[in-house]
Amino acid sequence: MAWQNAFNYYFASRMEEQSKKTLTPIPPPPPTISVGESSNSSSSGNDNNNCQPCFAGQCLFKTVVIGISEGSDILAVISSYREILNQKSLLLINSYVGFMKKATIMHQNQGRELNGLYQVISMNGFFATSHSFYLACALISPTGQFVMGPVVGKCIAHGPSFVTATIW
């Protein structure tokens, strides 16, 4: 599968470039999380590796990995991008990912809200024509655990691909 190799190489290069850039977080409105979380929304926009936000008592990285696929299920095979994404560890997600439902369309790579949990402040990836695809975000804890189900959104993309989103 030469196209897959080419895609993986291009994606890896893009992710390496993006990991070197620093993003200034835009504080979202206080999240309305109702599933056993500890929601401390009084912290400032400081980004010194303090784990923000928390879900079910566990700290999460700010980078989530999103797999895009046409149809109702998603395969997100992300283990090979461990070093490129500059995280301590990532899960290999290689199976059907939970529930799916439609949400807000992303406009110019800027997300607003995913399931009312976190605000996406920037996205990068392969964005092209007006085909609609489903997204599932895997929130990765510092220990590399998959700590919650998919956060679902919708974007404008073309073809199966991977993108990343920075959350605050």
Segment 64-114, tens digit of pLDDT: 444 433 332 222 323 233 333 333 222 222 222 222 222 222 322 333 333
| Position 20 pLDDT exceeds 50 | yes
Contact by Cβ (8 Å): 139, 151? yes
Radius of gyration of the chain (CA): 15
In a domain, 46, yes or no: no
Give the whole-number percent of the chain exceeding pLDDT 70.
0
Q: Which residues pair with 165 in a beta bridge?
A: 64, 123
Measured in degrees and rounded to the nearest 5, phi and psi for residue 165 equal -135, 140
Which of 119, 124, 123, 135 has the alpha carbon at shortest distance from 168?
119
pLDDT digits (tens, 9 = 90+) for 44-74: 333 333 333 333 444 333 334 444 333 322 2
What is the H or E stretch that residue 93 is in? none
Any domain includes 44: no
Q: Which residue range forms the structural domain that includes residue 70?
A: 1-20+53-168
Q: Is the pLDDT of residue 17 over 50?
A: yes
- Domain assignment present for 30: no
Q: With 50 as the cut, is the pLDDT of residue 15 above it?
A: yes
Residue 72 included in any domain:
yes
Beta strands in 10-78 (DSSP E): 54-55, 58-59, 63-69
What pLDDT score does 3 carry?
53
pTM of the shown model: 0.16
